[in-house]
Chain A
Amino acid sequence: MHIDYYPGCTIKASAGQYETSVRAVLATLGIQMKEMEQWNCCGVVHSLASDNLIRHIAPIRVFARLQEQGGSEMLTLCDMCYNTLSQANHLVRQNARQRESINDFIEAEEDYDGEIHVLHLLQILRDRVGYQTIKKHVRRALQGLTVFPYYGCKLLRPGGMGIDDPEAPRVLRDLMHTLGAAVADDPLQTQCCGSYHIVNHDEIVSRRVGKIAARALERGADVIVLSCPLCHFNLDTRQALVDSPLPVLYFTQLMGVAFGLDLDVLGLNQHHIDPLMLLQQRGFVQEEEALV
Protein backbone atom coordinates (compact mmCIF):
# COMPACT_ATOMS: atom_id res chain seq x y z
CA MET A 1 0.00 0.00 0.00
CA HIS A 2 1.03 3.63 -0.29
CA ILE A 3 0.14 6.72 1.67
CA ASP A 4 0.36 10.40 0.76
CA TYR A 5 3.02 12.04 2.84
CA TYR A 6 3.38 15.62 4.08
CA PRO A 7 6.95 16.09 5.39
CA GLY A 8 7.00 19.66 6.75
CA CYS A 9 10.09 21.87 6.91
CA THR A 10 12.05 20.45 9.80
CA ILE A 11 12.03 16.88 8.52
CA LYS A 12 13.85 18.20 5.45
CA ALA A 13 16.13 20.59 7.35
CA SER A 14 17.35 19.05 10.60
CA ALA A 15 15.53 15.77 11.18
CA GLY A 16 16.74 13.81 8.15
CA GLN A 17 17.47 10.74 10.27
CA TYR A 18 13.80 10.58 11.24
CA GLU A 19 12.64 10.53 7.61
CA THR A 20 15.21 8.01 6.36
CA SER A 21 14.50 5.67 9.27
CA VAL A 22 10.75 5.98 8.68
CA ARG A 23 11.14 5.15 4.99
CA ALA A 24 13.22 2.08 5.80
CA VAL A 25 10.88 0.85 8.54
CA LEU A 26 7.74 1.39 6.46
CA ALA A 27 9.32 -0.29 3.43
CA THR A 28 9.98 -3.33 5.64
CA LEU A 29 6.29 -3.28 6.58
CA GLY A 30 5.24 -2.97 2.92
CA ILE A 31 4.14 0.69 3.00
CA GLN A 32 5.40 3.28 0.53
CA MET A 33 5.33 6.98 1.38
CA LYS A 34 4.34 9.18 -1.55
CA GLU A 35 5.54 12.70 -0.87
CA MET A 36 3.11 15.43 -1.94
CA GLU A 37 4.17 17.09 -5.19
CA GLN A 38 3.80 20.55 -3.71
CA TRP A 39 3.60 21.56 -0.08
CA ASN A 40 4.29 24.52 2.19
CA CYS A 41 5.04 25.08 5.87
CA CYS A 42 2.01 24.21 8.05
CA GLY A 43 2.53 27.27 10.26
CA VAL A 44 3.84 25.13 13.16
CA VAL A 45 1.53 26.50 15.86
CA HIS A 46 -2.25 26.72 15.76
CA SER A 47 -3.46 30.26 16.43
CA LEU A 48 -5.64 30.32 19.53
CA ALA A 49 -7.06 33.80 18.95
CA SER A 50 -10.63 33.84 17.67
CA ASP A 51 -10.05 36.34 14.87
CA ASN A 52 -6.64 35.36 13.51
CA LEU A 53 -7.85 33.53 10.40
CA ILE A 54 -4.80 34.29 8.30
CA ARG A 55 -2.78 31.97 10.53
CA HIS A 56 -4.93 29.01 9.42
CA ILE A 57 -4.39 29.54 5.72
CA ALA A 58 -1.03 27.70 5.59
CA PRO A 59 -2.32 24.35 6.91
CA ILE A 60 -5.55 24.58 4.95
CA ARG A 61 -3.62 25.27 1.76
CA VAL A 62 -1.72 22.01 2.39
CA PHE A 63 -5.04 20.13 2.57
CA ALA A 64 -6.38 21.89 -0.52
CA ARG A 65 -3.29 20.84 -2.45
CA LEU A 66 -3.61 17.20 -1.47
CA GLN A 67 -7.28 17.34 -2.41
CA GLU A 68 -6.30 18.64 -5.87
CA GLN A 69 -3.82 15.79 -6.16
CA GLY A 70 -6.67 13.36 -5.49
CA GLY A 71 -5.55 12.33 -2.01
CA SER A 72 -7.80 11.54 0.94
CA GLU A 73 -5.36 10.72 3.73
CA MET A 74 -2.23 12.56 4.79
CA LEU A 75 0.64 11.06 6.76
CA THR A 76 2.77 13.30 8.99
CA LEU A 77 5.82 12.40 11.07
CA CYS A 78 6.26 15.69 12.95
CA ASP A 79 4.15 16.21 16.08
CA MET A 80 3.88 19.95 15.51
CA CYS A 81 2.72 19.53 11.91
CA TYR A 82 0.28 16.87 13.05
CA ASN A 83 -1.16 19.17 15.71
CA THR A 84 -1.45 22.25 13.51
CA LEU A 85 -2.98 20.31 10.61
CA SER A 86 -5.43 18.49 12.91
CA GLN A 87 -6.59 21.65 14.64
CA ALA A 88 -7.00 23.52 11.33
CA ASN A 89 -8.98 20.57 9.94
CA HIS A 90 -11.19 20.57 13.01
CA LEU A 91 -11.82 24.30 12.64
CA VAL A 92 -12.81 23.93 8.98
CA ARG A 93 -15.15 21.07 9.82
CA GLN A 94 -16.81 22.85 12.75
CA ASN A 95 -17.03 26.45 11.69
CA ALA A 96 -18.78 27.14 8.38
CA ARG A 97 -18.34 30.90 8.51
CA GLN A 98 -14.62 30.77 9.10
CA ARG A 99 -14.29 28.03 6.47
CA GLU A 100 -15.93 30.25 3.84
CA SER A 101 -13.82 33.18 4.83
CA ILE A 102 -10.59 31.19 4.54
CA ASN A 103 -11.58 29.59 1.23
CA ASP A 104 -12.26 33.06 -0.12
CA PHE A 105 -8.61 33.90 0.32
CA ILE A 106 -6.93 30.81 -1.08
CA GLU A 107 -7.86 31.44 -4.67
CA ALA A 108 -4.96 29.49 -6.15
CA GLU A 109 -6.40 26.24 -4.81
CA GLU A 110 -9.77 24.53 -4.73
CA ASP A 111 -12.08 25.19 -1.80
CA TYR A 112 -11.40 22.83 1.08
CA ASP A 113 -14.14 21.58 3.36
CA GLY A 114 -12.38 19.24 5.78
CA GLU A 115 -12.61 15.92 3.91
CA ILE A 116 -8.97 14.86 4.27
CA HIS A 117 -7.86 12.75 7.22
CA VAL A 118 -4.54 13.61 8.76
CA LEU A 119 -2.70 10.74 10.43
CA HIS A 120 0.43 10.63 12.54
CA LEU A 121 2.83 7.80 11.78
CA LEU A 122 2.22 6.28 15.21
CA GLN A 123 -1.48 5.92 14.36
CA ILE A 124 -0.62 4.04 11.17
CA LEU A 125 1.66 1.67 13.07
CA ARG A 126 -0.78 1.10 15.92
CA ASP A 127 -4.10 1.05 14.06
CA ARG A 128 -3.31 -0.14 10.53
CA VAL A 129 -0.20 -2.28 10.77
CA GLY A 130 -0.69 -3.49 14.35
CA TYR A 131 1.81 -4.63 16.94
CA GLN A 132 1.52 -8.30 15.98
CA THR A 133 2.73 -7.60 12.44
CA ILE A 134 5.51 -5.34 13.71
CA LYS A 135 6.63 -8.09 16.07
CA LYS A 136 7.05 -10.51 13.15
CA HIS A 137 9.74 -8.25 11.70
CA VAL A 138 11.84 -8.06 14.86
CA ARG A 139 15.22 -9.73 14.21
CA ARG A 140 17.11 -8.40 17.23
CA ALA A 141 14.78 -8.02 20.20
CA LEU A 142 15.86 -5.09 22.36
CA GLN A 143 16.13 -7.22 25.46
CA GLY A 144 17.89 -5.54 28.35
CA LEU A 145 17.31 -2.03 27.01
CA THR A 146 15.15 0.31 29.11
CA VAL A 147 13.43 3.00 27.11
CA PHE A 148 11.87 6.23 28.38
CA PRO A 149 9.10 7.25 25.95
CA TYR A 150 8.74 11.02 25.77
CA TYR A 151 5.49 12.33 24.26
CA GLY A 152 5.59 16.04 25.00
CA CYS A 153 2.45 18.04 24.21
CA LYS A 154 1.54 18.24 20.58
CA LEU A 155 0.96 14.55 19.94
CA LEU A 156 -1.59 14.34 22.75
CA ARG A 157 -3.37 17.61 23.30
CA PRO A 158 -5.87 19.24 23.00
CA GLY A 159 -7.72 16.10 24.09
CA GLY A 160 -9.79 14.67 21.25
CA MET A 161 -7.31 16.02 18.72
CA GLY A 162 -4.36 13.97 19.98
CA ILE A 163 -3.60 10.38 19.02
CA ASP A 164 -3.76 8.88 22.52
CA ASP A 165 -4.95 9.61 26.05
CA PRO A 166 -3.94 13.25 26.69
CA GLU A 167 -2.30 12.44 30.02
CA ALA A 168 -1.78 8.67 30.16
CA PRO A 169 -0.63 7.67 26.67
CA ARG A 170 0.59 4.16 25.90
CA VAL A 171 1.34 4.00 22.18
CA LEU A 172 5.12 4.34 22.52
CA ARG A 173 5.20 2.01 25.52
CA ASP A 174 3.30 -0.69 23.63
CA LEU A 175 5.50 -0.21 20.58
CA MET A 176 8.72 -0.48 22.60
CA HIS A 177 7.42 -3.60 24.36
CA THR A 178 6.74 -5.06 20.91
CA LEU A 179 10.41 -4.56 20.08
CA GLY A 180 11.39 -6.43 23.26
CA ALA A 181 12.52 -3.40 25.26
CA ALA A 182 11.62 -2.59 28.85
CA VAL A 183 9.86 0.73 29.43
CA ALA A 184 10.26 3.32 32.20
CA ASP A 185 7.18 5.49 32.70
CA ASP A 186 6.79 8.82 34.48
CA PRO A 187 4.33 11.77 34.51
CA LEU A 188 7.05 14.01 33.04
CA GLN A 189 6.67 12.12 29.74
CA THR A 190 3.71 14.30 28.83
CA GLN A 191 5.09 17.63 30.03
CA CYS A 192 6.44 20.36 27.78
CA CYS A 193 10.19 20.31 26.94
CA GLY A 194 10.34 24.10 26.70
CA SER A 195 9.48 24.11 23.00
CA TYR A 196 10.25 27.25 20.99
CA HIS A 197 11.80 29.01 23.98
CA ILE A 198 15.01 27.49 22.65
CA VAL A 199 15.18 30.56 20.37
CA ASN A 200 15.31 33.32 22.98
CA HIS A 201 15.23 31.63 26.40
CA ASP A 202 17.23 28.45 26.10
CA GLU A 203 17.84 28.49 29.86
CA ILE A 204 14.15 27.59 30.28
CA VAL A 205 14.61 24.66 27.89
CA SER A 206 17.76 23.54 29.72
CA ARG A 207 15.90 23.47 33.01
CA ARG A 208 12.93 21.58 31.55
CA VAL A 209 15.14 19.11 29.68
CA GLY A 210 17.36 18.68 32.74
CA LYS A 211 14.37 17.73 34.85
CA ILE A 212 12.95 15.31 32.30
CA ALA A 213 16.26 13.57 31.57
CA ALA A 214 17.20 13.34 35.25
CA ARG A 215 13.87 11.67 35.96
CA ALA A 216 14.36 9.25 33.07
CA LEU A 217 17.77 8.35 34.50
CA GLU A 218 16.27 7.90 37.95
CA ARG A 219 13.73 5.48 36.48
CA GLY A 220 16.55 3.40 35.05
CA ALA A 221 16.26 4.45 31.42
CA ASP A 222 19.11 3.86 28.95
CA VAL A 223 17.62 5.90 26.15
CA ILE A 224 14.79 8.37 25.45
CA VAL A 225 12.53 7.85 22.41
CA LEU A 226 10.18 10.38 20.86
CA SER A 227 8.61 11.53 17.62
CA CYS A 228 8.75 15.34 17.68
CA PRO A 229 11.73 17.00 15.93
CA LEU A 230 11.59 20.04 18.24
CA CYS A 231 11.55 17.90 21.40
CA HIS A 232 14.39 15.93 19.81
CA PHE A 233 16.50 19.01 19.22
CA ASN A 234 15.89 20.29 22.75
CA LEU A 235 16.53 16.99 24.50
CA ASP A 236 19.51 16.06 22.34
CA THR A 237 21.32 19.40 22.64
CA ARG A 238 20.34 20.70 26.10
CA GLN A 239 21.19 17.95 28.58
CA ALA A 240 24.21 19.82 29.93
CA LEU A 241 22.67 19.88 33.42
CA VAL A 242 22.37 16.09 33.52
CA ASP A 243 25.22 14.01 35.02
CA SER A 244 25.13 11.27 32.42
CA PRO A 245 23.19 12.47 29.37
CA LEU A 246 20.87 9.92 27.77
CA PRO A 247 20.82 9.35 24.01
CA VAL A 248 17.61 10.64 22.39
CA LEU A 249 16.31 8.66 19.41
CA TYR A 250 13.33 8.81 17.10
CA PHE A 251 11.23 5.71 17.79
CA THR A 252 11.69 4.57 14.19
CA GLN A 253 15.47 4.44 14.68
CA LEU A 254 15.00 1.86 17.42
CA MET A 255 12.48 -0.01 15.27
CA GLY A 256 15.13 -0.09 12.55
CA VAL A 257 17.73 -1.48 14.96
CA ALA A 258 15.27 -4.15 16.12
CA PHE A 259 14.37 -4.99 12.50
CA GLY A 260 18.09 -5.39 11.76
CA LEU A 261 18.08 -2.69 9.05
CA ASP A 262 21.21 -1.08 7.60
CA LEU A 263 22.61 1.45 10.04
CA ASP A 264 23.39 3.98 7.34
CA VAL A 265 19.67 4.63 6.72
CA LEU A 266 18.92 4.92 10.43
CA GLY A 267 21.12 7.98 10.93
CA LEU A 268 22.34 6.90 14.37
CA ASN A 269 25.45 9.01 13.89
CA GLN A 270 23.42 12.22 13.51
CA HIS A 271 22.94 13.02 17.18
CA HIS A 272 24.71 15.28 19.66
CA ILE A 273 24.59 12.54 22.27
CA ASP A 274 26.02 9.42 20.65
CA PRO A 275 23.68 6.42 20.91
CA LEU A 276 26.02 4.00 19.09
CA MET A 277 28.27 3.23 22.05
CA LEU A 278 25.30 2.14 24.14
CA LEU A 279 23.78 0.08 21.33
CA GLN A 280 27.13 -1.63 20.73
CA GLN A 281 27.69 -2.36 24.42
CA ARG A 282 24.28 -4.00 24.61
CA GLY A 283 25.01 -6.03 21.49
CA PHE A 284 22.22 -4.59 19.32
CA VAL A 285 24.70 -3.16 16.86
CA GLN A 286 28.02 -4.72 15.82
CA GLU A 287 31.16 -2.63 15.85
CA GLU A 288 31.80 -3.05 12.12
CA GLU A 289 28.23 -1.92 11.37
CA ALA A 290 28.65 1.18 13.51
CA LEU A 291 31.71 2.23 11.54
CA VAL A 292 29.69 2.55 8.33
Chain B
Amino acid sequence: MIKITASGRPNELLRKAAALSGQDLFACYQCGTCSAGCPMVAEMDLLPDQLIRHVLFGMSDALESTAIWVCASCYLCDERCPRGIDVSKIMEALRQIWLRQNEDYVHVAQLPKETLAELPPIALVANFRKNTG
Protein backbone atom coordinates (compact mmCIF):
# COMPACT_ATOMS: atom_id res chain seq x y z
CA MET B 1 0.00 0.00 0.00
CA ILE B 2 1.30 3.45 -0.83
CA LYS B 3 0.97 5.96 1.96
CA ILE B 4 1.29 9.51 0.78
CA THR B 5 1.68 12.13 3.49
CA ALA B 6 0.29 15.61 3.07
CA SER B 7 2.59 17.26 5.57
CA GLY B 8 4.61 18.95 2.84
CA ARG B 9 7.79 17.50 4.32
CA PRO B 10 9.81 15.08 2.20
CA ASN B 11 9.83 11.53 3.42
CA GLU B 12 12.96 10.22 5.16
CA LEU B 13 14.10 8.05 2.29
CA LEU B 14 13.74 10.88 -0.19
CA ARG B 15 15.49 13.33 2.14
CA LYS B 16 18.49 11.02 2.54
CA ALA B 17 18.62 10.01 -1.12
CA ALA B 18 18.53 13.66 -2.19
CA ALA B 19 21.20 14.64 0.33
CA LEU B 20 23.61 11.84 -0.56
CA SER B 21 23.11 12.10 -4.32
CA GLY B 22 22.91 15.88 -4.54
CA GLN B 23 20.10 15.37 -7.06
CA ASP B 24 16.62 16.87 -7.25
CA LEU B 25 14.43 13.80 -7.67
CA PHE B 26 11.37 15.96 -8.28
CA ALA B 27 12.98 17.06 -11.55
CA CYS B 28 12.22 13.59 -12.95
CA TYR B 29 9.16 13.64 -15.23
CA GLN B 30 9.13 9.86 -15.72
CA CYS B 31 9.98 9.81 -19.41
CA GLY B 32 11.83 6.50 -18.97
CA THR B 33 14.85 7.46 -21.07
CA CYS B 34 17.18 6.17 -18.34
CA SER B 35 15.55 2.74 -18.34
CA ALA B 36 15.26 2.60 -22.13
CA GLY B 37 19.01 2.94 -22.50
CA CYS B 38 20.23 1.08 -19.42
CA PRO B 39 22.20 -2.04 -20.44
CA MET B 40 21.32 -3.71 -17.13
CA VAL B 41 17.50 -3.46 -17.11
CA ALA B 42 17.15 -7.14 -17.99
CA GLU B 43 18.70 -7.90 -14.59
CA MET B 44 16.60 -5.41 -12.59
CA ASP B 45 13.39 -5.87 -10.62
CA LEU B 46 12.58 -2.16 -10.52
CA LEU B 47 13.71 0.01 -13.44
CA PRO B 48 15.64 3.22 -12.77
CA ASP B 49 12.67 5.54 -13.49
CA GLN B 50 10.42 3.37 -11.30
CA LEU B 51 12.98 3.51 -8.50
CA ILE B 52 12.96 7.28 -8.56
CA ARG B 53 9.16 7.30 -8.40
CA HIS B 54 9.14 4.85 -5.50
CA VAL B 55 11.65 6.97 -3.59
CA LEU B 56 9.51 10.06 -4.20
CA PHE B 57 6.63 8.21 -2.57
CA GLY B 58 8.86 6.98 0.27
CA MET B 59 8.25 3.34 -0.63
CA SER B 60 10.73 1.15 1.20
CA ASP B 61 10.85 -1.44 -1.60
CA ALA B 62 13.30 0.90 -3.33
CA LEU B 63 15.90 -0.10 -0.76
CA GLU B 64 15.05 -3.79 -1.04
CA SER B 65 15.34 -3.86 -4.82
CA THR B 66 18.11 -5.77 -6.57
CA ALA B 67 18.29 -2.95 -9.12
CA ILE B 68 20.36 -0.68 -6.89
CA TRP B 69 23.08 -3.36 -6.73
CA VAL B 70 22.87 -4.30 -10.40
CA CYS B 71 23.68 -0.73 -11.47
CA ALA B 72 27.44 -0.62 -12.06
CA SER B 73 27.62 3.17 -12.62
CA CYS B 74 28.24 3.17 -16.37
CA TYR B 75 26.78 6.71 -16.53
CA LEU B 76 24.74 6.10 -19.70
CA CYS B 77 21.53 7.29 -17.99
CA ASP B 78 23.28 10.43 -16.73
CA GLU B 79 24.40 11.13 -20.27
CA ARG B 80 20.88 10.84 -21.67
CA CYS B 81 18.58 12.26 -18.98
CA PRO B 82 16.74 15.24 -20.54
CA ARG B 83 16.29 16.71 -17.05
CA GLY B 84 19.99 16.61 -16.23
CA ILE B 85 19.58 14.17 -13.36
CA ASP B 86 22.57 11.99 -12.49
CA VAL B 87 20.62 8.79 -11.94
CA SER B 88 23.84 6.92 -11.12
CA LYS B 89 24.24 9.17 -8.06
CA ILE B 90 20.74 8.28 -6.88
CA MET B 91 21.63 4.59 -7.23
CA GLU B 92 24.81 5.17 -5.22
CA ALA B 93 22.85 7.06 -2.56
CA LEU B 94 20.40 4.15 -2.17
CA ARG B 95 23.28 1.67 -1.86
CA GLN B 96 24.90 3.91 0.74
CA ILE B 97 21.69 4.24 2.76
CA TRP B 98 21.49 0.44 2.85
CA LEU B 99 25.19 -0.06 3.67
CA ARG B 100 25.12 2.57 6.41
CA GLN B 101 22.65 0.45 8.33
CA ASN B 102 25.81 -1.49 9.12
CA GLU B 103 25.21 -4.33 6.70
CA ASP B 104 27.36 -5.47 3.81
CA TYR B 105 25.76 -6.62 0.57
CA VAL B 106 28.74 -8.78 -0.39
CA HIS B 107 30.44 -10.79 2.33
CA VAL B 108 34.06 -10.92 1.38
CA ALA B 109 34.94 -13.76 3.77
CA GLN B 110 32.36 -15.98 2.10
CA LEU B 111 33.71 -15.65 -1.43
CA PRO B 112 35.44 -18.80 -2.71
CA LYS B 113 39.23 -18.63 -2.54
CA GLU B 114 39.52 -19.62 -6.22
CA THR B 115 37.40 -16.61 -7.18
CA LEU B 116 39.60 -14.26 -5.20
CA ALA B 117 42.76 -15.73 -6.73
CA GLU B 118 41.50 -15.66 -10.31
CA LEU B 119 40.14 -12.13 -10.51
CA PRO B 120 41.99 -8.91 -11.37
CA PRO B 121 42.42 -6.50 -8.42
CA ILE B 122 40.24 -3.86 -10.10
CA ALA B 123 37.27 -6.25 -10.08
CA LEU B 124 37.67 -6.96 -6.37
CA VAL B 125 38.33 -3.42 -5.20
CA ALA B 126 35.48 -2.01 -7.31
CA ASN B 127 33.08 -4.67 -6.06
CA PHE B 128 33.95 -4.18 -2.40
CA ARG B 129 33.78 -0.40 -2.69
CA LYS B 130 30.26 -0.65 -4.10
CA ASN B 131 28.96 -3.51 -1.96
CA THR B 132 30.51 -3.09 1.47
CA GLY B 133 30.38 -0.25 3.97
Contact = CB atoms under 8 A, between A and B. Distances in A.
Genuine A/B complex: yes
Instruction: Tell me if B's interface is mostly helix, strand, loop or mixed.
Output: helix
A10 B115 contact: no
B124 to A, nearest CB: 6
A253 B15 CA distance: 50
B40 A192 contact: yes
Contact of B76 (A51, A55, A191): A191
A210 to B, nearest CB: 12
A52 B73 CA distance: 16
B31 interface: no
A208 B72 CA distance: 12
Nearest to A12: B121
B125 A41 contact: yes
A56 to B, nearest CB: 12
B109 interface: no
Given A158-B78, A167-B79, A204-B43, A10 B122 contact: yes
B36 interface: no
Contacts of B91: 48
A50 B21 contact: yes
Instruction: Tell me if A's interface is mostly helix, strand, loop or mixed.
Output: loop
Contacts of B127: 196-200
Contact of B20 (A49, A55, A199): A49
B120 A47 contact: no
B43 A15 contact: no
Contact count band on A:
35 or more
A78 B122 contact: yes
B73 A48 contact: yes
B53 to A, nearest CB: 20
B92 A48 contact: yes
A48 B21 contact: yes
Nearest to A51: B20
Contact of B70 (A15, A198, A204, A233): A204
A45 B73 contact: yes
A175 B58 CA distance: 49
Interface string B91-133: 1110010000000001000010001000111111111011100
A233 B79 contact: no
Contact of A153 (B19, B74, B121): B74
Given A194-B72, A196-B130, A50 B22 contact: yes
A149 interface: no
A13 interface: yes
Nearest to B118: A237
B129 A44 contact: yes
A271 interface: no
A13 B79 contact: no
Given A49-B21, A199-B115, A157 B121 contact: no
A60 to B, nearest CB: 16
A169 interface: no
A14 interface: yes
A10 B121 contact: yes
B123 A196 contact: yes
B72 A196 contact: yes
Interface string A192-220: 10111111100010011000000000000
B123 A233 contact: yes
A43 interface: yes
B92 A10 contact: no
Given A199-B106, A199-B127, A200-B131, A10 B120 contact: yes
Nearest to B66: A201
A158 B111 CA distance: 31
Interface of A: 8-10, 13-15, 41, 43-45, 47-52, 55, 78, 80, 152-153, 157-159, 166-167, 190-192, 194-200, 204, 207-208, 229-230, 233
